[in-house]
Amino acid sequence: MIEFRCVSKHYSADAIALREVNLNVARGELVYLAGPSGAGKSTLLKMIAAMERPTSGSVLVNDQDIGRMKNASLPYLRRNLGLIFQQQRLLTDRSILANTMLPLLVTGASKAEAELRARAALEKVGLEGRALARPLELSGGEQQRVAIARAIVNRPQIILADEPTANLDRASADKVLDALRAFHSVGVTCLIATHDELVLYDAARQGSARVIRLDHGAVVGDAA
């Protein structure tokens, strides 16, 4: 479903984020991307969403070479993706229901349908009771679960999450990860970049996920 063929990304001569990465992720896999700060985790995720393009090599999503896709085609690609990135902040002057409805309204759903589906998405992340709250009335972990609801409301095939548990306490982090794992359990392909060694330790112990380790832009470990 996702394939990297000898992908390198050079932001500049001395900012090399990925070095000849080869990777295959099958439909329905749960993959954690691990590695120190600057290892290239965010860059790898951004390439799957064509937010960055490879300097060399190819990135294929559903057999389409997205590095060479025209900008006009990107919205169609992204419709299949649920993105949970730090940059995509919630709108603080709107309710969490409105925030969750937004991706549906911009893709042409009626208001009634958007509300129905947004409420269902909020229920899946355990926030149905907070639909009318504003983001800043929620804890960091709850806000992150709103971000997940907003990312999945379009029923994406693939979820890309960049450090979804950053700055959360253990209990909140576990709830966020449980929400993500619930989507994996219904067949959604999930890639999660994380520094959280406890998450990686748990994944390894339960044998429930694949952990790909990056260092200085290269894959240095890949274990199911």
Ligand X SMILES: Nc1ncnc2c1ncn2[C@@H]1O[C@H](COP(=O)(O)OP(=O)(O)OP(=O)(O)O)[C@@H](O)[C@H]1O
Residue 130 token pair: 């907070």
CB of 85 to ligand X, least distance (A): 11
**Angstrom distances, CA of residue 181 to CA of 47, 109, 116, 138, 209:** 22, 27, 23, 22, 10
Closest CA to 137 of 90, 103, 82: 90
Q: Closest CB to ligand X among 41 and 117? A: 41
Q: Closest CB to ligand X among 43 and 144? A: 43
CB of 135 to ligand X, least distance (A): 23
125 forms beta bridges with none
Residues of this chain that interact with ligand X (CB under 6 A) are 11, 15, 17, 35, 37-43
In the sheet with 64-65, reading across from the earlier edge strand, the strands are: 15-25, 2-12, 56-61, 64-65
CB of 66 to ligand X, least distance (A): 17
Q: How many CB atoms lie within 10 A of CB 169?
A: 11
CB of 115 to ligand X, least distance (A): 35
Q: Closest CB to ligand X among 131 and 192? A: 192
Q: Closest CB to ligand X among 39 and 109? A: 39
